[in-house]
Amino acid sequence: MSRLQLALNVENLEESIAHYSKIFGVGPAKVRPGYANFAVVNPPLKLVLIENPGASDSINHLGVEVESVDAVRSEHERVTAAGLPVWVEGETTCCYAVQDKFWVEGGKHKFEVYTVLADADQMKNTPTAASVATTSGAAVCCAPQAQTVTFK
């Protein structure tokens, strides 16, 4: 099963956890310093909360979590066949998880397609990733630097 991912910048993590726990009727699946995620079954949603005080946009980034590396590859083929530029990150640590992923370039918000391979003890493995900013100026969790991609 695939599910939409919505990663939000929040002012106060604990207050936001309490709020979204009431909305969805479930508690977070993972809580770490400055980070929490919810694996909501109905509707199928991966809600990510990133403590990012002062962010000018409530959306940190968007994405789709898929079931497997094969599904990531399949989505990559579909998206590139549609002519969208992508940046393949491959296996990486992001959001306290080892993931296999790619990013779709363009649009106002960063958009990733990924699968979780394992839990991780650290937020990310690329120290410069947190400094990446969206067009609104908010730090994007684990997003890569913008890449120029040319198709022939």
pLDDT tens readout for residues 42-63: 999 999 999 999 999 999 999 9
Q: Please, is 77 exposed, middle or buried when counting C-beta atoms within 10 Å of its C-beta (0-12, 13-18, 19+)?
A: exposed
Residue type, 15: E
Is 22 strand, coil or helix?
Answer: helix
For 59-108, the pLDDT digits (tens) are 999 999 999 999 999 999 999 999 999 999 988 888 788 899 999 998 88
- Per-residue pLDDT averaged across 111-140, rounded? 64
Q: What is the pLDDT of residues 66-77, one digit of tens each?
A: 999 999 999 999
Instruction: Check residue 139 and give its pLDDT.
Output: 53
Mean pLDDT of the chain: 84
pTM of the model: 0.78
If pLDDT is split at 50, 70 and 90, which confidence band does 126 have?
A: low
* Domains of the chain, each with CATH number or no CATH: 3-131 (3.10.180.10)
pLDDT at 146 over 60: no
The residues, any chain, with a CB within 8 Å of residue 106's CB and separated by 6 or more, are 84, 85
